[in-house]
């Protein structure tokens, strides 16, 4: 993924007023932003009043007590990185990773492989369905992450390493690790709504040659035109020891209600990595969904950590506590949706 633009107070307010609830404008802002390059800057905090707490249950209720095991999630990162980079140049590592993810998914869930071609690459999205509620609920929440890693460490401070692949402990493996553990929770404690977990391929070779970011999710949306989840959450780069997740810009513009629900969960879970301010405008796997009107938000560390797209993206900068926070918040969001159903 990449960041495009950072808003300061006045443009933020103007953009917010113009575009809130008006997803048709998404393509317009996306096009405008893609031509702008600005220094990374921090926007002002937005008020807590943006969080929809109406249906919130008090802390200490069953929604608040979710025991996510960040240490086990760390082991999923360790295993994935032990296969090496999971970029197109490493087909064996990619097969091992797919096989590993499949081996971790509870047997109560259905797994489908969505194979696709994009820019001459063969990709595989792994689509897991937890349909415990089956036809009793028409609500479907989509959780997604990318499982591939970047082919080139083109942000490495050492220019001699920039042709090397990124190991992707954070950028790739961390999201997968959290989704695997979420799958296990959903198996043990099925919600009253349906949940899909999609592991997207080919997210992270954007701007290498003529490749775009988020190719796997784009193909998924294009090739499943009837797929219309109620809402969705993409997680990406969620293990850093100093995890910091602000409200991603496009998510706040095009899926404000979902984002408010996530921040209400963060509040309930006392997850202080979630910052109640607007972050960067990020091109990630949520964008193809937003473009067809599906409200999907992006939970991503921003500003990106120093290890981003470098050979330093290793497990030494990861933390079980950070993984735990993200896992609990996403599960809380699902159980809250289920509670309100
Ligand atoms: Zn990346």
Tell me the CATH number at 93. Answer: 3.40.630.10
Dist. CA 127–CA 142, nearest whole Å: 10
Distance (Å) from CA 190 to ligand 1 centroid: 32
Given this model, what pLDDT does residue 264 score?
97
List 85's β-bridge partners, or say none: none
Dist. CA 83–CA 101, nearest whole Å: 12
Dist. CA 150–CA 84, nearest whole Å: 12
Structure tokens at 279: 């972050």
Distance (Å) from CA 299 to ligand 1 centroid: 13
Cite the beta strand spans of 167-253 per DSSP E. Answer: 194-200, 231-236, 245-247
| Listed residue (85, 200, 208) closest to 147, CA to CA | 200
Distance (Å) from CA 111 to ligand 1 centroid: 25
Distance (Å) from CA 308 to ligand 1 centroid: 7
Whole-number Cα distances in Å, 108 to 76, 105, 167, 183, 185 = 20, 8, 31, 10, 12
**Phi-psi group of 151: left, alpha or beta (phi > 0 → left; psi -120 to 50 → alpha; rest → beta):** alpha
Distance (Å) from CA 149 to ligand 1 centroid: 7
Q: Domain residues for 193? A: 2-340
Whole-number Cα distances in Å, 179 to 2, 45, 69, 77, 311 = 22, 29, 12, 12, 24
What does the pLDDT profile of the chain (341 residues) look like in tens digits?
A: 666 544 444 444 444 333 333 333 333 333 333 322 222 223 323 322 223 333 444 444 444 589 899 999 999 999 999 999 999 999 999 999 999 999 999 999 999 999 999 999 999 999 999 987 777 888 999 999 999 999 999 999 999 999 999 999 999 999 999 999 999 999 999 999 999 999 999 999 999 999 999 999 999 999 999 999 999 999 999 999 999 999 999 999 999 999 999 999 999 999 999 999 999 999 999 999 999 999 999 999 999 999 999 999 999 999 999 999 999 999 999 999 888 76
Handedness of CA 206, 212, 214, 216 (dihedral sign): negative
Given this model, what pLDDT does residue 33 score?
33
Give the dihedral of Cα atoms 200, 202, 205, 211; nearest 10 deg.
-120
Structure tokens at 30: 């996306």
Q: How many domains does the chain have?
A: 1
Distance (Å) from CA 223 to ligand 1 centroid: 24
Distance (Å) from CA 212 to ligand 1 centroid: 12
- Give, as one character, the DSSP assignment of residue 170: I
Contact assessment for residue 50 and residue 17, using Cβ atoms and an 8 Å cutoff? no
């Amino acid at each position: 993924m990449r960041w495009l633009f950072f808003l300061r107070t006045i443009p933020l307010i103007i953009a917010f007023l113009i575009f809130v609830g008006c997803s048709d404008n998404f393509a317009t802002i996306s096009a405008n932003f893609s031509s702008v390059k600005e220094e990374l800057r921090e926007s002002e905090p937005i008020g807590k009043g943006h969080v929809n707490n109406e249906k919130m249950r008090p802390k200490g209720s069953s929604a608040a007590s979710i025991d996510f095991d960040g240490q086990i999630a760390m082991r999923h990162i360790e295993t994935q990185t032990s296969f090496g980079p999971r970029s197109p140049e490493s087909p064996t590592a990619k097969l091992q990773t797919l096989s590993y993810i499949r081996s971790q998914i509870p047997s109560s869930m259905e797994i489908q492989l969505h194979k696709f071609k994009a820019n001459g690459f063969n990709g595989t999205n792994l689509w897991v369905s937890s349909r415990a509620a089956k036809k009793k609920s028409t609500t479907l929440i989509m959780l997604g992450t990318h499982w591939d890693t970047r082919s080139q460490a083109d942000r490495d401070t050492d220019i001699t390493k920039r042709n090397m692949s990124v190991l992707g402990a954070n950028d790739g493996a961390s999201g997968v690790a959290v989704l695997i553990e979420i799958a296990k929770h959903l198996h043990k404690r099925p919600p009253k709504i349906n949940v899909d977990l999609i592991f997207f391929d080919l997210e992270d070779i954007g701007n290498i040659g003529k490749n775009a970011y988020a190719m796997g999710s784009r193909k998924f949306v294009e090739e499943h035109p009837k797929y219309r989840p109620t809402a969705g959450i993409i997680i990406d780069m969620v293990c850093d020891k100093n995890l910091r997740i602000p409200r991603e810009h496009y998510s706040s513009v095009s899926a404000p209600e979902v984002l408010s629900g996530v921040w209400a969960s963060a509040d309930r879970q006392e997850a202080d990595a979630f910052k109640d301010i607007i972050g960067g405008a990020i091109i990630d796997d949520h964008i193809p969904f937003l473009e067809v009107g599906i409200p999907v938000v992006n939970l991503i560390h921003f500003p990106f950590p120093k290890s981003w797209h470098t050979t330093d993206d290793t497990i030494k900068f990861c933390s079980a506590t950070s993984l735990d926070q993200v896992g609990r918040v996403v599960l809380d969001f699902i159980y809250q949706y289920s509670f309100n159903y």
